[in-house]
Chains A and B, each alone.
Chain A
Amino acid sequence: MGQQIVFALRDSMHRVLIKLASFLPGLLALLVAVVILTAVGALLALILRRILTAVKFDERFARSQTVNVADWSPRHSPTVLVARTAFWACVILGFIIGIAAFDASYAGNSQIAAILIPYLTHSVGAVLILLAGTVIARFLSRSVLIGAVNLQMQYARLLSLGVKWLVLVLTTAMVLDHLEIGGTIVDLAFGILFGGIVLTLSLAIGLGSRDLVSRSLEKNAGHSVDPRTAAHTAPEDDLADILPRTASPQPKPSETLRHF
């Protein structure tokens, strides 16, 4: 009995070690491919930067282009854009070669390969989704915050936070779904959270804009009842294009400001 247990343990340990031994070269090949291609990319970027700087690429490009492509490049320099593109292309190539080597180091019927390879590629996709989601969340959050502040909305920060968390929750759900973690629990939790945030925002906007909406309705009703009142309200209407739209009372017509 004891011998059988020892034998079983030895056998399983042997199998695991063999699997590990066959797994490590593949992993090592992946790492080596990534490191080498990264180094090649860095070298290539350096050479490109030197050459383009020597031929004054930025100045020539700015002279010949009507559309400012430099706007899209980091540090406003097309040279840097070209160098970085070359570098990251090499890094991505390294990953592709590494994953192919990792895949090739297993036999076609290997169970680990069947699970690990798709999971690895899904992980890369999930990381990209997470990065994109975080960037989009921050961008939208700032856009909403600045827009709402300039419209003098008192709940600007709440609105901005709401939008940020909406996008982050959506991103997280997409990442988990991409990694096939959680199954229906994620769908359910996402639905509840997303719906909750939307409801909170709706209530906040609805309650916060009550005065604004009622004033707008009153104004419209006034216009429809008696068109002659339009003549009296014209100066205030004129203010709309030169003053920020505010929730607070409008200044008197005598206090008109001309910004332009």
Chain B
Amino acid sequence: MAAPSTITEDAIPSSPGHAPSGLLVSLTPLSGEALEATLANLALAFADRDLLVITPDPTPTTLPTSGHIRLTTYTPATIAPGGWVLTPAEFLEPCKLMREHASTACLLLGPEAQSLAPEALRALADAALTGNADLVTPCYALGPRDGLVNSAILYPVTRSLFGTRPHYPLAIDLAFSMRMAERLAVCAQKFTAANQNAAFIWPVAEAAAAGFSVAEVPAGARTLPRPDGADLNTMLAQVAGSFFADLDAKASFWQRARLAYSPRTAAFARAETTSVQPAAAETPDVQSLLDSFCLAYTNLHEIWSLVLPPNSLLGLKKLSQMPAASFRMSDDLWVRIVYDFILAYRLRTINRGHLLGALTPLYLAWVASHLLLTSGARPETTPPEKHIEALAAAFEIDKPYLVSRWRWPDRFNP
């Protein structure tokens, strides 16, 4: 049972010369220096407005002088482990304080928020304050080897099933309206009541399911916090498990959702918010990833055969025999693999822990293929963003397969 949180206001009065912004800024736990840097960035971003900032950290000794920040500290009701994504408890406090202060929008900043530029902070808040969007997510400018799980699974699946465009469904900085805050708080409340304080919340899917508008703004470079004390296998199982469970819970929505654009045109669509980065000139060493996949192919073939149809297994067999230099997992094959794993998760074809464990080597094979395709100086080399967009389009085109098998799982599937 979550304990009630306590709130303390620090007396930094708002200036009468500045317009009230109607914006509440909520910060997650930060170190002293990081908190000071974040407040300085906020002061720069909102120099002409009064700002209410809430933080669970003690008030820093030095506060920025240029802005008009009213800082409020609170004791979170629950302490969540981890701290690399937004936890359910971090969605509860903003909603409560938005109601109390009659705020129209909230800017929720995740760990390492000090690395966000003032322009990005301003853009996020403005999009929510103007009332054009209920949920605003940032589009980070990450390197070609960053956020690979997001590129491989989270972004393309969310885009294809929910018809949304944001590139980071598990974004760690968000701006949202009052009604979106209430929706997220209800969702978070379910988890905190069940003592699942480290559960993931998927804001983009929540907004789509509620019929709220979603927008994305460019946010530039950002330092992404690192997950603590867990290896890839554990983290992938946690993230993918939560993601698949959320898809299962919202199946009634995405099965009948009509996309605003047709899959055919989506195949040629490009993200307007992201800049296309050139492919890396140096070919990476992916041998350890390929070794991992080949070892898994010889050992996990029986388990994969319980989940994947013969056509996908044939594709994996060909993949296991490919030389490292020309290793390439087709987008269609990866799409089918992910969709079949989502189905198996729903149908409990095998134990869910085993299922998610068996996904790791396949994901590593995709990573190897993606890195090889997006680096080097060969004619077929593709910029990373272009490949990710093409993959997302492939997910959209193949969505009828998932819907069909979701409804009739026992139908013949070659």
Contact = CB atoms under 8 A, between A and B. Distances in A.
Interface string B194-237: 10000000000000000000000000000010111111110110
A248 B145 CA distance: 21
A260 B303 contact: no
Contact of A241 (B227, B239, B361): B227
Contacts of B229: 241
B146 interface: yes
Given A146-B300, A251-B288, A259-B367, 5 more contacts: A152-B295, A242-B226, A255-B284, A255-B285, A257-B148
Interface stretch (B33-41, B101-109, B127-135, B345-353): B345-353
Nearest to A155: B299
Contacts of A256: 145
Contacts of B296: 149-150
By secondary structure, the B interface counts as: helix
A156 B295 contact: yes
B357 interface: yes
Contacts of A251: 285, 288
A50 interface: no
A148 B360 CA distance: 12
B60 interface: no
Interface stretch (A118-126, A137-145, A192-200): A137-145
Contacts of B358: 146
Nearest to A250: B288
B354 interface: yes
Looking at B224, B228, B351, the one whose CB has the most chain A CB atoms below 10 A away is B351
A232 interface: no
B119 interface: no
A259 B295 contact: no
A244 B364 contact: yes
B147 interface: yes
Contacts of B224: 258, 260
Nearest to A246: B288
Contacts of B150: 260
Contacts of B146: 258
A252 interface: yes
22 contacts: A76-B248, A143-B353, A146-B300, A146-B354, A146-B358, A148-B299, A150-B296, A152-B291, A240-B231, A241-B231, A241-B232, A242-B226, A243-B288, A244-B233, A248-B287, A252-B285, A255-B284, A258-B142, A258-B145, A258-B147, A259-B367, A260-B150
Interface string A156-172: 11001000000000000
A260 B227 contact: yes
A15 interface: no
B360 A244 contact: yes
Given A257-B145, A258-B224, A246 B292 contact: yes
Contacts of A66: 190-191, 193-194
A149 B299 contact: yes
Contacts of B364: 244
A244 B292 contact: yes
Nearest to A154: B295
Contacts of B149: 259-260
Interface in A211-251: 238, 240-246, 248-251
Contacts of A258: 142-143, 145-148, 224
A61 to B, nearest CB: 13
B401 interface: no
Interface of B: 84, 142-143, 145-150, 190-191, 193-194, 224, 226-233, 235-236, 239, 248, 284-285, 287-288, 291-292, 295-296, 298-300, 303, 346-348, 350-351, 353-354, 357-358, 360-361, 364, 367
Interface of A: 66-67, 75-76, 139, 142-143, 145-150, 152, 154, 156-157, 160, 238, 240-246, 248-252, 255-260
B366 to A, nearest CB: 11
Contacts of B348: 76
A250 B288 CA distance: 8
Nearest to B152: A259
A146 B230 contact: no
A142 B191 CA distance: 30
A259 B170 CA distance: 13
A108 B229 CA distance: 66
A248 to B, nearest CB: 5
A40 to B, nearest CB: 29
B303 to A, nearest CB: 7
A143 B232 CA distance: 16
A81 to B, nearest CB: 13
A66 B347 CA distance: 21
Contact of B292 (A142, A152, A255): A152
B361 A150 contact: yes
A238 B228 CA distance: 10
A245 B303 CA distance: 22
A254 to B, nearest CB: 9
A156 B299 contact: yes
Nearest to B194: A66
A238 B233 CA distance: 16
Contacts of B285: 251-252, 255
B14 to A, nearest CB: 38
Contacts of B84: 260
Looking at A146, A149, A241, A260, the one whose CB has the most chain B CB atoms below 10 A away is A260
Contact of A244 (B228, B232, B299): B232
B323 to A, nearest CB: 18
Contact of A260 (B145, B147, B287): B147
Contacts of A150: 233, 292, 296, 357, 360-361
